[in-house]
Amino acid sequence: MIQPPLDWLPGPVRPQLAPGEIHLWRATLDNPIRLSGAEAVLSREELLRAGRFAQVRDRERFIAAHGALRMVLGLYLAAEPDSLEFRTGPMGKPMLVQTFTDLRFNLSHSGDLALIGVTRGREVGVDLERVQGEIEFDPIVEHYFDPEEAWDIRTAPPQERVGKFFDLWTCKEACVKADGGGLGTRLRAGRFGVRSLCPARGYAGAVASEGDEWRLACWNWNV
């Protein structure tokens, strides 16, 4: 488990992924400049998906998050963001159509923040959640958590239970997303290493990837 600093460094213009390295990008979404730039690079399908959101803010955040993903990936591939093509795997995990690269990625967004994980030659999953103290998490714990995890939450001091829940939940989600399955997926023991992090005040996050001998570099995405 690690806790990167709240003030992440500005991302490099030409990022280079070293072997055994994962790059994690943080992007704020409630930014009119970012929104206009993001909308211009999205595909027709992505714009249609955005249009299905009933709330304007949710629609704009979706556009900003997926636009940021395209722009970040474009840096690694030296490609125009709007030229990238995606497909979904058997379990719905998005991946690049481009066959000339072994780049792997994952996106998660919640509230006004997004996290993008990028690596090479290994699967990666990221999860981000805005911490909500009023959430009723007992049914989730009962249904999805192992007995040991549920016990840890129930026996924690009252003021720590919400934080512990989100810490465990994001780690579980990150592993599932790295695997490409759903929450009911049985993960092979030891396949994924996972690390929790604090992307910003009021948020919990985690990143998971195959094996556990990998290093994490955290960057701040700026349009």
Q: Which pLDDT score, from 0 to 100, does residue 5 have?
A: 46
pLDDT tens digits for the chain (223 residues)? 445 445 688 889 899 998 899 999 999 998 877 788 899 999 999 999 999 999 999 999 999 999 999 999 999 999 999 999 999 877 778 899 977 789 999 999 999 999 999 999 999 999 999 998 777 888 888 888 888 988 989 899 988 989 999 999 999 999 999 988 665 555 554 688 999 999 999 999 999 999 888 999 999 987 5
**The token pair that represents 27 in the structure block:** 């992007």
Q: Which pLDDT score, from 0 to 100, does residue 188 have?
A: 56
The rounded distance, in Å, linking the Cα atoms of 209 and 187 is 12
Q: Is residue 3 a part of any domain in this protein?
A: no
Q: Which pLDDT score, from 0 to 100, does residue 68 have?
A: 95
Q: Is residue 115 a part of any domain in this protein?
A: yes
Q: Which pLDDT score, from 0 to 100, does residue 209 have?
A: 95
Q: Are 67 and 5 in contact (CB under 8 A)?
A: no
Cα-based angle 25, 144, 199 (whole degrees, multiple of 5) = 20
State the CATH number of the domain containing residue 147.
3.90.470.20
Select from 81, 98, 9 the least CA-distant residue to 46: 81
Task: Work out how many domains the chain is built from and give that number.
Answer: 1
Q: Is residue 143 a part of any domain in this protein?
A: yes
CA atoms within 13 A on the CB side of 66: 23
Q: Is residue 2 a part of any domain in this protein?
A: no
Question: Which amino acid belongs to residue 221?
Answer: W
The rounded distance, in Å, linking the Cα atoms of 214 and 192 is 11
Helix or strand run (H / E) with residue 166: helix 158-179
The rounded distance, in Å, linking the Cα atoms of 136 and 81 is 39
- Domain around 29: 9-220
Q: Which pLDDT score, from 0 to 100, does residue 2 have?
A: 43
Helix or strand run (H / E) with residue 81: none
Q: Is residue 174 a part of any domain in this protein?
A: yes
Q: Is residue 141 a part of any domain in this protein?
A: yes
Q: Which pLDDT score, from 0 to 100, does residue 142 have?
A: 84
Cα-based angle 92, 178, 65 (whole degrees, multiple of 5) = 70
